[in-house]
A = this chain, B = another copy of it.
């Protein structure tokens, strides 16, 4: 349905071109300072219209806190956040309503519900991810304050271009979340040519969490990696999720992959900080692929609702690479999963037996 999480529960609502989008964040512990202006930073990061490389839709994305905060602090009651849609252009959607855009959810929604809101993709629009990012502002802050956990991401591949260097400080200084400043002109040239061609391109985003204590995650079906996979795969356009070395492990030997341990900590982190579905105290790392946008200026064959062949050309405001704006969304999903697991861990960890001694920090944690 439209609720994410077990003990931190985020329910989102709203359509791309409806009056508003919003969410209810239930389960946030009391006593966390929270103000409406804290949401703007991450919402700006994912916002449309950040650069010429993303959609031209301009939303102010102003968050109103409707409940759950009293005198600047969370009270333990549900926190409702509301954002009015301001740039939903009124136009004639009857054309789109009658045909299925290839690669979009038009056909599958129609098959499921027999009715759909065609305006900008309706509920299936990536506009919904705005509220994930908003909800995760709360999760990120709580994780940071309570455990010193930080969640960060970056664009690690754009089409065939991979990053040739890595510096966290570069990531926030370019519109791509790219970790190597020297390549930014190359990316811009690539995107300009792509936009001109009317086509789109796929991308890869990496996201990591530092400072996660050992012990988070619930075997067998609430594993930390399992829930990360579901959370990341639920982002629009994502077609694959890796934890740690991911698919590279297909051709790895066990002697190479397994992370040896020493009194000073783990000697490597091929596992991505998760063993048996439970965090090891190392850095948690995941990587996702985002398919190329299906909304192209290039014409494509499809059918209309009566089953007849038609040709579709998308003229709206669309990102030629949805992966570019996906970094804050991937961070958001990882943060929401981690806060949920932190609360679950608190309920279920050892309380009768002794607390186990921990080995020292990991090599790369």
Contact = CB atoms under 8 A, between A and B. Distances in A.
Interface in A1-39: 1-4, 7, 9, 11-15, 18-22, 24, 26-27, 29-32
Nearest to A230: B230
Interface string A272-312: 10111111110000000111111110101111011111000
Q: 3 closest pairs, A vs B, by CB?
A: A105-B276, A31-B353, A103-B258
B30 A353 contact: yes
B359 A303 contact: yes
A94 to B, nearest CB: 11
Contacts of A257: 103, 202, 291-292, 294
Interface in A56-88: 64, 66-68, 70, 73, 75-80, 82
A84 to B, nearest CB: 9
Given A114-B30, A303-B261, A352-B145, A123 B291 contact: no
B117 A70 contact: yes
A202 B27 CA distance: 33
Given A26-B2, A75-B122, A103 B229 contact: no
Contacts of A249: 202, 239-240, 289-292
22 contacts: A4-B220, A7-B348, A19-B66, A30-B115, A30-B353, A31-B351, A75-B122, A75-B123, A100-B261, A108-B275, A111-B214, A111-B280, A157-B251, A202-B251, A202-B252, A220-B234, A255-B296, A258-B300, A260-B302, A262-B303, A305-B357, A346-B346
Given A1-B9, A263-B303, A77 B117 contact: yes
Contacts of A208: none
Contacts of A275: 103-105, 107-108
A14 B66 contact: yes
A74 to B, nearest CB: 8
A148 interface: no
B75 A113 contact: yes
A316 interface: no
Contact of A114 (B15, B250, B306, B353): B353
A234 to B, nearest CB: 4
A3 to B, nearest CB: 6
A253 interface: yes
Given A80-B13, A221-B3, A240 B234 contact: no
A223 B105 CA distance: 12
A108 B217 contact: yes
A317 interface: no
Q: Which of A13, A251, A260, A293 has the most CB of B within 10 A?
A: A13
Given A75-B113, A103-B259, A123-B220, 13 more contacts: A2-B221, A11-B26, A21-B67, A22-B67, A24-B24, A32-B352, A160-B251, A200-B254, A233-B241, A239-B244, A242-B247, A245-B291, A253-B292
Given A217-B108, A242-B240, A352-B30, A309 B14 contact: no
